[in-house]
Structure 1
Amino acid sequence: MRAAAVRAGSLVGVVPVSGCRLSADLTAAYLDRLRLSAAEVSEPTLQSLCRLQAAHISLVAYENLDSHAGERGAPLPPPRLDPVASAERVALRRRGGYCFVLVDAFAALLTSLGFVVSLHTAGVGESPLAAEKWGNHIVLLVHLGERRFVSDVGLGDGPLRPFELREHAWEEDGYAFRLEATGASTWHFTHHPLGSFRGFDFCLSSSAASAREFGEYHAFYWSHPDSPYRVSGPVLQRVTPERGVLTLRCCTLRRVHPGFPAGSTTIAVATSADEWLALVREHFCMPLIDLPPEQQTSLWLSAKTKHDAWLAQECGREAP
């Protein structure tokens, strides 16, 4: 993991990305995936950005399914970190991904719609961030005149709306968030205690020319046996506009929200491949049209194996 760390991007300072515009057809397909019309986001404004981010986070799942869809649960080859390829994955294959893939795609969409964006090295973890964790996340900054906003579609259960680059605390749907400056060019985002991570640091002293600069961390996350995405089993998350976060971890579908007495409520537990695939399709907007039947079966078997292991562990804890 230390070898994969990215402490700084290749460009000094805050430098907007260039050369990642999508074709008109792919842009239209992407907006269709987000259930937005071109007229609704015709100008690169804060209102348009809020619409785009809310739609993306609520319709494009944070997921790691390809890391478990190969033979006997092995990972499939990692997707290329390329703006067009990432956008095609979301728009045409109707899939999701994690931070590197989702931010890569969204940055290309925003640029194609006339927004000015920059990419920055970040790391999920407690602040101050351990050296080996720098580069395990990528932050997208949107420039609107003199104001700058973090627009992060790659967190799984983060804010539904972009947040301005200034020290402040705010709430969304019962979740409390905070952004603090920790240095001349470093910032820390603090998640709600119910979040799937505690927070992340990011640095604006440099910029990345593209998501490809995070390729080594991408490769580690996707296929290394010690990667949390491999250890956890199949996981999907989606922030919902109605209430809280939908999370499918292995076989158990839950809705997480601070308003629930225990912080979450169980909706369903899949007991067959058909039930599990139905949960993915119905709750995470993913028809899985790009995965043949044998890979869908591998996913179910991976989910069931991890779920059974968790049940055995829980039973062991409860035994006298």
Structure 2
Amino acid sequence: MDSHRSEDSAHLGARLVDGYLRRLGTGRPPRPTAAALSELHLRQLLTVPFENLSVQLGERIVLEERRLVEKVVEKRRGGFCYELNGAFGTLLAALGFEVTFLAARVFGAEGRLGIPYDHMALKVGTADGRTWLADVGFGAHSHHPLRWEDRGEQKDPGGMFRIVEAADVDAGDLDVVKNGSPEYRLEVRPRALGDFVTGAWWHSTSPESHFTRSLVCSRVTEDGGRITLSGRRLKETTPEGGDMERELVTDEEVLGVYRERFGIELEQVPEVRAAGADRLG
């Protein structure tokens, strides 16, 4: 699979595409330009939260384009990397951008790399012939797409980023670096959405995955900061680095924050559950 084009996602139909754009608070761009991509990327980060609620609520995670978009549009939910970048890539393809799914492995403690298909990112081509790295599924990452060919520093509201050749491999892999620290190693070979099923299953079920051991719901705020709800702890960060944290005491407070700050309606407060249940289908 070299790329997803608009005809590949035409089955979404105008209703889902327009509904997605309404969720983002923006209109349909007349052309798939770099400026349109940057606007869509930022609007996604502002409105569709990075969250692992499905893992803890026992909801099935389905890596199919239409189902991912329906989760964003009809259920008013977010997701983790496979869901967020899968849905966003599907939207971009429907709008005429050239989109390629890429696999990555996240750097952990002491520089150790995670499992294969640990993370999904997007390579996006725009109408001006330029290519970009788009990633709306890594949590605190760049607010705007990064220039694919640029090997120098790229300043972004989310930090200082670089895309560099991986030094210890000869397969053409790239390291994505933020503020001097490597975040993930990106493979340049195109992948299909279905290739990530095993990675999503592992992150949804393994006791070694941080997604099964924690609760998180997070998005960029309008001032360029970030708001994050981890279990019952609410944290708000300003662009200048100031933090405000408080513990939410009642279930009503927790559900209210999900509803008012993240646009997510829940019937019950999610809690961390035991890993090992099959939640992928």
Name the TM-score class by shorter chain. 0.7 to 0.9
Structure 2 residue aligned with 1:20: 9
Quickly say closer, same or farther: Cα 1:247–1:132, change in 2 above 3 A.
Answer: closer
1:156 corresponds in structure 2 to 139
Question: Where in structure 1 are there 5+ consecutive unaligned residues?
Answer: 1-10, 70-75, 304-320
Q: Is 1:275–2:253 an aligned residue pair?
A: yes
Q: Which residue of 2 aligns with 1:187?
A: 174
Offset, 1:177: 2.2
Q: How does 1:102-251 map to 2 (within 5 A)?
A: 102-125=84-107, 130=112, 132-144=114-126, 145-165=128-148, 166-173=150-157, 175-182=159-166, 185-192=172-179, 199-204=183-188, 206-209=189-192, 211-232=193-214, 234-251=215-232
Change (3 A) 1:128 1:207: farther
Instruction: Give me the whole-angstrom Cα distance separating, in 1, the residues matched to 2:131 and 2:110.
Output: 23
Q: C-alpha offsets along residues 157-212 of structure 1, whole Å, 9 cap, x if unaligned?
A: 1111011112121333362222212256211111248xxx95011011x2112x21
Paired residue for 2:35?
47
Provide runs of 4+ in structure 1 moved above 3 Å.
Answer: 126-132
Q: State how far apart, in whole Å, the 2-side matches of 1:26 and 1:169 are.
A: 37
Q: CA deviation at 1:123?
A: 1.3
How far apart are the structure 2 equivalents of 1:26 and 1:181? 38
- 8 Å Cα contact 1:123-1:129 kept in structure 2: no
1:141–1:151: 8 Å Cα contact kept in structure 2? yes
**Percent of aligned pairs sharing the same letter:** 26
Mapping for residues 301-320 of structure 1, pairs under 5 Å: 301-302=271-272
**Distance in 2 separating the partners of 1:128 and 1:251:** 30
SS at match of 1:230: coil
User: What SS does structure 2 have at the residue aligned with 1:207?
Assistant: coil
**Are residue 284 (structure 1) and residue 259 (structure 2) matched?**
no
For the residue of structure 2 that corresponds to 1:23, the secondary structure is helix
Structure exhibiting the larger radius of gyration computed from Cα positions: 1
- Aligned-partner Cα distance in 2 for 1:175–1:130: 22
Instruction: Identify the structure with the greater helix proportion.
Output: 1
Task: Tell me how far apart the structure 1 counterparts of residues 158 and 96 of structure 2 sit (CA, whole Å).
Answer: 33
> Which residue is 1:252 aligned to?
233
TM-score normalised to structure 1 length: 0.76
Instruction: Tell me the C-alpha RMSD between the 2 structures.
Output: 2.5
Count of paired positions: 266
Q: Is the contact between residue 163 and residue 176 of structure 2 (CA under 8 Å) also seen in structure 1?
A: yes
**Deviation by residue 1:93-124 (Cα, 9 ceiling, x = unmatched):** 10000000111111110111111111111111
Equivalent pair of 1:175/1:258 in contact (CA under 8 Å) = no
